Structure 1
Amino acid sequence: MNEVAILAYDGCWAMGVFSATDFFRIVALLEQHLGVPQGYRARVLSIDGGPVQAASGHAIHPDAALEAADDCQLIVIPPIEGPRLAAGFAPDARALAWLAQCKARGARVLAMTTGACHVAAAGLGRDMLLATHWAYTRLLNKRYPDCTFVAHSSFTQAQGIWSSGSLGGGFDALLEMLAQDQGDRFAQLCATHLLVSMPERLSPILPGHRNHRDPVVLKVQDWIENHHRQAISIASLAREAGLSERTLKRRFQLATHLPPNLYVQRVRVDKAKKLLLSSGLPVKAIAYEVGYENVSFFIRLFKTQVGQTPAQWRDGASLPAP
């Protein structure tokens, strides 16, 4: 079983703490329904196990102290309240030492928005692209010059460290990890039950394709994911990126290990998976919703990528809400 440690500390946003606990509660309910063993145990931890005061002033009562999770496989760091960060907030040295030790043992780390300051302060983000809240990129880049902080609506990932620029990006990162651990189908089921957005608006689960440091390509990926229903050409992507078509194709392939046209196809198939799970729309309507007017082409494409037709995938993956 994967041990998940969610760090609670004075001034953190409670919604970051409990969005993670609720995510793994949904995972547990799906596992229970499917009759598979529980894959995760999520616990809220503080430095000494005592209560902490969230940014709202409410108390968070942790399950244990940090020392109880020295062998955890995933650490989730919620955001720090912005005004505290601007006033000079410095992560506790004990939390940083524990974080570095767990990372050295192979733990994955998810830092939500301003929580990325812990990664930087622990010396784990050197020469790394870290996503954070747009309002604090300049402050964090000045405070931690060995790291590069960027505003990003979803997340970045490198060397076992995920960082998100929004609360939704934190869910995106957790879904990517879930897909790596439990497979695409299970992660898609979880995504459709999150209740954070309409399923077709959720970011695609495409593990590994954001594991790069090219901010222009990340911007293009975001654009594709938000405009997948439109007719997308290399020329339109190049205009969005401010690059020549040749340069775009080269940089996109280098960063994502996919050509742009194939990435567009994978985004559309992912969106179709979510619609197949969450709606009763016929396959023809779903093909149109994700950007294909030719339903036969869409079915062939889906089967090539997934190994099943859309109807077969829907039948095999259907599940009532937990």
Structure 2
Amino acid sequence: MAAFGLHEVLGDTQRNDSALSRPIHPVLLASQQGPFRASTGLNVTPERGLEEECADVVIVCDIHLNRDETPEGRWPEEIAWVQRHLNSGALICSTCSGSVLLAEAGLLDGAEAASHWSMADLFRDRYPDVRFRPERILCDSGRGGQLITTGGASAWQDLALYLIARFCGAEEAARVARLFLLGDRGYGQLPFASMARPRQHSDAVISKIQGWLVDNYATPNPVSAMIERSGLPARSFKRRFSAVTGYTPLEYVQALRVEEAKQMLETEDTAIEDISITVGYEDPTFFRRLFKRRVGVTPAQYRQRNRVGGVLI
């Protein structure tokens, strides 16, 4: 859990013999009194309750949400506590899906925000005023640097180094990075992301087209083929498809093709040019550009980092 990792890494600033202007004293807080079992199964014992603490920095750690759950009406005590600290000048941060709480509080409206890439659908549907940045690891989300959101589950490491550099200096951040072997994720989250799950819907025509695409995504002129099979006028089909899936027809096809390419890069030695043709792109140059735009790295870089049986970074 991010909370434990942050507690250990940030707390190490107190153990450095070098003179520090402002070492960090982390405290684990929760609204629930006494030990409780987290969604991961680990037992958590908060050091203090929310009502007892006034903090200079607040970090909202990752939140567990099932696909059928909504954030509506959840965390009222935590949201009020965070808002009070924001108004009093505290630095408010989140790790991974913790940004959902900040979005639910309305703190991210009109601002860019990072979160785990799997939260893209939730932000799109429930928080349309937030400019969601799924590729970002760490994002200055406004209020003059008073709101910081971070991406995937391990992005707490980047947040820890950011906070140490901000409050203790770059030299201390470098020392902690070396001590804990905290590495660089300069490529962001996109290399780790998969196609966002399309929305659940009851449109039988679109469902039929989605089923057909599973085996026919590489067909030439796929959008035209989809429209023809649907029996709908082109504009009506595109409008209905986007409304129920959250993707335009072309974006949906590209996402399917890129996911198949990623699987081939991870498990096969097939040349990238041949993978391009297999997934439906006769022009390897176009395929490479599309792949990098959607994944954040080139096909060759993705293969190097994710090859099954090879060295994983």
- TM class, shorter-length: 0.5 to 0.7
- Supply the distance in 2 between the matched residues of 1:134 and 1:26 (Cα, whole angstroms): 30
Partner residue of 1:44? 28
Q: How many residues align?
A: 187
Partner residue of 1:169? 155
- Supply the distance in 2 between the matched residues of 1:119 and 1:35 (Cα, whole angstroms): 35
- Supply the distance in 2 between the matched residues of 1:173 and 1:95 (Cα, whole angstroms): 21
1:1-322 → structure 2 map (5 Å cutoff): 15-29=1-15, 31=16, 33-36=17-20, 39-70=23-54, 72-83=55-66, 86-90=68-72, 91-157=74-140, 158-159=142-143, 160-197=146-183, 201=184
Shift of 1:202: 5.7
SS at match of 1:55: coil
TM-score normalized with structure 1 length: 0.53
Contact 2:22 2:167 in 1 (8 A): no
The Cα offsets for residues 26-45 of structure 1, whole Å up to 9 and x where unpaired, read as 2222x2x2254762211111
Q: Which amino acid aligns with 2:63?
A: I
Larger radius of gyration: 2
Partner residue of 2:206? none
Partner residue of 2:209? none
Contact 2:10 2:164 in 1 (8 A): no
Partner residue of 1:252? none
SS at match of 1:42: coil
In angstroms, what is the RMSD of aligned CA positions? 2.5
SS at match of 1:137: helix
- Supply the distance in 1 between the matched residues of 2:43 and 2:103 (Cα, whole angstroms): 27
- Supply the distance in 1 between the matched residues of 2:161 and 2:41 (Cα, whole angstroms): 30
SS at match of 2:181: coil
Shift of 1:64: 0.7
SS at match of 1:151: coil
TM-score normalized with structure 2 length: 0.54
- Supply the distance in 2 between the matched residues of 1:25 and 1:177 (Cα, whole angstroms): 12
Shift of 1:195: 2.6
Q: Which amino acid aligns with 1:49?
A: Q
Shift of 1:96: 0.4
Contact 1:86 1:139 in 2 (8 A): no
Runs of 4+ in 1 over 3 A off after TM superposition: 35-38, 201-204, 239-242
- Supply the distance in 1 between the matched residues of 2:156 and 2:135 (Cα, whole angstroms): 11
Contact 1:155 1:170 in 2 (8 A): no
Contact 1:154 1:168 in 2 (8 A): no
- Supply the distance in 1 between the matched residues of 2:135 and 2:48 (Cα, whole angstroms): 32
Contact 1:110 1:170 in 2 (8 A): no
Shift of 1:167: 3.3
Shift of 1:119: 0.7
- Supply the distance in 2 between the matched residues of 1:98 and 1:184 (Cα, whole angstroms): 30
Contact 2:58 2:93 in 1 (8 A): yes
Q: Which amino acid aligns with 1:132?
A: S
Gaps of 5+ in 1: 1-14, 205-238, 243-322
The Cα offsets for residues 130-174 of structure 1, whole Å up to 9 and x where unpaired, read as 101111112122112232222134110132111111234322223
Shift of 1:95: 0.6
Label 1:86 to 1:150 Cα distance change in 2 as closer, same or farther (>3 A).
farther
Label 1:67 to 1:44 Cα distance change in 2 as closer, same or farther (>3 A).
same
Label 1:103 to 1:122 Cα distance change in 2 as closer, same or farther (>3 A).
same
